[in-house]
């Protein structure tokens, strides 16, 4: 146990479900109320003003009571945040090979506690942990020994211990694969809904994984008695250092320092150094021998992907993902839009992070149809490299907030997280280094400095993709116009097939109506997007869609480092109900497969300006290139309900 920098979260709930403790907003409101009341009492002199004073006093008391109740009511009016806990209902997770997996977590030995930010025993700020690049710290033998020792001790813990490596894997396996149900009321034993929980495909993705890493790191540090210990980050977006985007050497066999606890047998042997992670990776093309890019081309495409998936995503929705409120089930064929429900909507960061999962796992290996470990959300956290990968994902959330606005016409928009209570009050449980179950809200996760850690500055490498400039627009082989291609049929079975699909997209200028609920003052601060609505994808399917504007000639082998490319969507299997067709992606039908429904968002404003399209009334052609990522040719099509222009 640490002597310093323990989180002061020892106050336990008086019951399950808990009574929420007053927060800083409550205290501030109380102070204002006291000031109002006492100023009312002091107004007026003499008996003639007594009635007026009394009425003002009663008015102030009534208003303050109402405000205090609204401020401190756990389930705020008109707010439906997702509430989740590992207690209560838990189902097994089906896989292709073997029996369904038990991913349920042990019950806590004590009553859950509410999260508090870390601080030293004297009340001062905590010691700041520094997460450093993996390709740098692997040159520090002392660090590698500590890192390996921490995982060795974690793996030696009994299965009944929630800190054990087995249970750390189960945290991800369960929360990310619909083992639990959403809850209607706060607290670890709040009433459960009938809807399964999924922390991917929405605004919960980054905050949940941040707190998962936060406690995982604290457990490792506690096991070796070093409160300064921090996870490394696999700096795979770094195209400046020649080895940064390679699989870090300290996770591989034959490393000069003992690293046995950092190894995992289920990694792609074809992607070991000197291979660099390719963010435009397509396993199907690789299996066909058609993925023949030089390292220089890969690095340039990597810059392009990072630019389109992070730098061009200025709204919280486009970067973090879409809303996720209680009752939302993105496996349902229809959602209640009027109640705030949406299909799954992954943000740009989640989408690009999927590629590193896919690239590291055993894709195209018939002996491993589940693409374990990293290539499948069910197994991913069994590989220690997972936590280093997600450390970089978490770092990029911090970086995103600092990127200047080169996206909107105004050029002065700040990148900020969601501010709605549905987002801020979403709630999850984790086990800490003391084996206590801690209840955490998303609002607790938004500032990494307050959580007591920071990242080594690698801004020189970051700036390469932040300031990326694609190649000039291509010249068409023959003249064409947008009306040469069909528009989609709204709510119809529009197809994304094995052959690239092109559609005409009608555009318009943004109006004040588009500003509603976005916290912006002017329409020129809006980000123009292309939105694919209700794309239907089987749980078990691997999918990748690359999208181009005004380039109907695009195909599976088209390079991404071009002005017409606007982004990528990727989907990895998770929470499968039926894995029977996971390998070949054939025979997945409505009768034997279960589907997810997604909205897929591509930021298009900058690309349109690069293409010289300044008139809002100019229609464009959107080309969707579906790339199978498995060795076997896919025989299924994907369907979507609509494609439209959207403003965020």
Residue with tokens 């209680």: 326
Known active-site residue 200? yes
Choice among 216, 271, 390, 539 that is catalytic = 390
Known active-site residue 353? yes
Could you tell me the two tokens for 468? Answer: 């990326």
Known active-site residue 390? yes
Choice among 216, 271, 357, 539 that is catalytic = 357
Beta pairing class for 437-441 and 113-114:
parallel
3-state secondary structure of 390: helix
CB neighbours of residue 154 within 10 Å = 23
Cα(168)–Cα(212) distance, integer angstroms: 9
Known active-site residue 357? yes
Rg (CA), the chain: 26
Burial (0-12, 13-18, 19+ Cβ within 10 Å), 107: exposed
Choice among 172, 216, 368, 389 that is catalytic = 172
Residue with tokens 């020129």: 524
Choice among 216, 271, 353, 389 that is catalytic = 353
Burial (0-12, 13-18, 19+ Cβ within 10 Å), 65: exposed
From residue 203, how far is each of 82, 333, 442, 583 by CA, in Å? 11, 21, 10, 30
Q: Which of 8, 19, 18 is nearest to 122 (CA)?
A: 8
Cα(180)–Cα(582) distance, integer angstroms: 23
Q: Which of 84, 77, 72 is nearest to 21 (CA)?
A: 72
Q: Which of 450, 199, 173, 557 is nearest to 344 (CA)?
A: 199
Is 175 in contact with 197 (CB distance < 8 Å)? Answer: yes
Choice among 135, 200, 389, 571 that is catalytic = 200
Choice among 2, 175, 180, 209 that is catalytic = 209
Which pairs with CB-CB distance under 8 Å and at least 24 residues apart come from 246-249? Answer: 246/135, 246/273, 246/274, 246/275, 246/276, 246/277, 247/271, 247/272, 247/273, 247/275, 247/277, 247/360, 247/385, 248/134, 248/135, 248/138, 248/385, 248/388, 249/135, 249/138, 249/273
- Compute the residue count for the chain: 648
Is 372 in contact with 362 (CB distance < 8 Å)? Answer: yes
Known active-site residue 377? yes
Could you tell me the two tokens for 42? Answer: 């002091």
From residue 286, how far is each of 6, 30, 245, 250, 291 by CA, in Å? 48, 63, 19, 26, 5
Known active-site residue 172? yes
CB neighbours of residue 605 within 10 Å = 19
Is 386 in contact with 248 (CB distance < 8 Å)? Answer: no
Residue with tokens 């916290």: 519
CB neighbours of residue 592 within 10 Å = 12
From residue 318, how far is each of 149, 201, 309, 599 by CA, in Å? 39, 12, 9, 11
Q: Is residue 600 left, alpha or beta, with left meaning phi > 0 and alpha meaning psi from -120 to 50?
A: beta
3-state secondary structure of 40: helix
Cα(195)–Cα(205) distance, integer angstroms: 18
- Catalytic residues, by residue number, are 172, 200, 209, 353, 357, 377, 390
């Amino acid at each position: 146990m640490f002597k310093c920098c323990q989180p002061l979260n020892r106050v336990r709930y008086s019951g399950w479900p808990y009574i929420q403790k007053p927060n800083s907003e409550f205290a501030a409101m109380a102070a204002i109320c006291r000031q109002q009341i006492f100023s009312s009492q002091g107004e007026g002199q003499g008996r003639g003003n007594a009635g007026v004073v009394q009425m003002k006093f009663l008015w102030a008391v009534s208003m303050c009571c109402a405000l205090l109740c609204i401020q401190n009511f756990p389930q705020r009016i008109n707010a439906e945040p997702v509430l989740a806990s590992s207690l209560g209902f838990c189902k097994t997770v089906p896989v292709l090979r073997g029996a369904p997996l038990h991913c349920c977590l042990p019950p806590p030995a004590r009553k859950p506690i509410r999260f508090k930010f870390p601080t030293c025993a004297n009340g001062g700020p905590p010691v700041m942990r520094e997460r450093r690049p993996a390709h740098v710290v692997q040159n520090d033998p002392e660090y590698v020994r500590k890192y390996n020792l921490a995982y060795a001790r974690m793996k030696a813990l009994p299965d009944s211990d929630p800190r054990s490596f087995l249970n750390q894997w189960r945290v991800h396996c369960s929360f990310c694969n619909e083992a639990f149900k959403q809850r209607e009321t706060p607290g670890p034993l709040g009433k459960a809904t009938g809807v399964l929980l999924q922390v991917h495909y929405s605004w919960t993705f980054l905050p949940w994984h941040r707190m998962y890493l936060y406690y995982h790191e604290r457990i490792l540090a506690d096991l070796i008695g070093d409160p300064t210990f921090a996870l490394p980050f696999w700096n795979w977006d770094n195209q400046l250092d020649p080895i940064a985007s390679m699989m870090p050497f300290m996770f591989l066999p034959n490393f000069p320092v003992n690293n046995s606890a950092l190894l995992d047998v289920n990694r792609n042997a074809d992607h070991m150094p000197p291979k660099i992670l390719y963010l435009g990776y397509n396993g199907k093309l690789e299996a066909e021998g058609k993925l023949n890019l030089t390292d220089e081309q890969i690095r340039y495409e990597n810059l392009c992907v990072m630019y389109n998936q992070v730098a061009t995503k200025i709204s919280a929705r486009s970067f973090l993902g879409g809303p996720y409120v209680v009752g939302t089930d993105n496996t349902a064929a229809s959602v209640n839009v009027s109640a705030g429900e949406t299909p799954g909507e992954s943000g740009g960061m989640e989408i690009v992070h999927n590629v590193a999962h896919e690239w590291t796992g055993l894709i195209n290996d018939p002996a491993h149809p589940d693409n374990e470990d990293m290539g499948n959300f069910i197994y991913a956290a069994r590989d220690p490299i997972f936590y280093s990968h997600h450390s970089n994902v978490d770092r990029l959330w911090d970086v995103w907030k600092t990127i200047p606005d080169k996206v909107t016409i105004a050029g002065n928009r700040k990148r900020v997280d969601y501010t709605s209570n549905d987002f801020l009050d979403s709630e999850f449980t984790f086990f800490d280094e003391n084996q206590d179950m801690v209840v955490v809200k998303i609002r607790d996760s938004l500032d990494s400095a307050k959580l007591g850690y920071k990242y080594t500055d690698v801004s020189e490498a970051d700036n390469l993709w932040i300031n990326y400039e694609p190649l000039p627009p291509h010249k068409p082989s023959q003249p064409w116009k947008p009306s040469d291609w069909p528009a989609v049929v709204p709510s119809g079975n529009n197809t994304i097939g094995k052959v690239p699909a092109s559609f005409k997209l009608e555009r318009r200028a943004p109006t004040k109506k588009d500003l509603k609920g976005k916290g912006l003052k002017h329409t020129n601060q809006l980000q123009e997007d292309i939105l694919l609505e209700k794309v239907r994808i089987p749980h078990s399917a691997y999918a990748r869609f690359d999208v181009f504007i005004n380039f109907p000639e695009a195909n599976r082998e088209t390079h991404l480092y071009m002005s017409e490319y606007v982004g990528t969507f990727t989907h990895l299997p998770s929470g499968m109900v039926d894995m029977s067709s996971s390998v070949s992606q054939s025979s997945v039908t409505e009768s034997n497969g279960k589907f997810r429904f997604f909205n897929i968002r591509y930021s298009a404003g900058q690309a349109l300006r690069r293409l010289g399209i300044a008139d809002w009334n100019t229609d464009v052609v959107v080309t969707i290139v579906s790339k199978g990522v498995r060795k076997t040719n896919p025989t299924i099509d994907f369907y979507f309900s609509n494609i439209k222009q959207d403003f965020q």
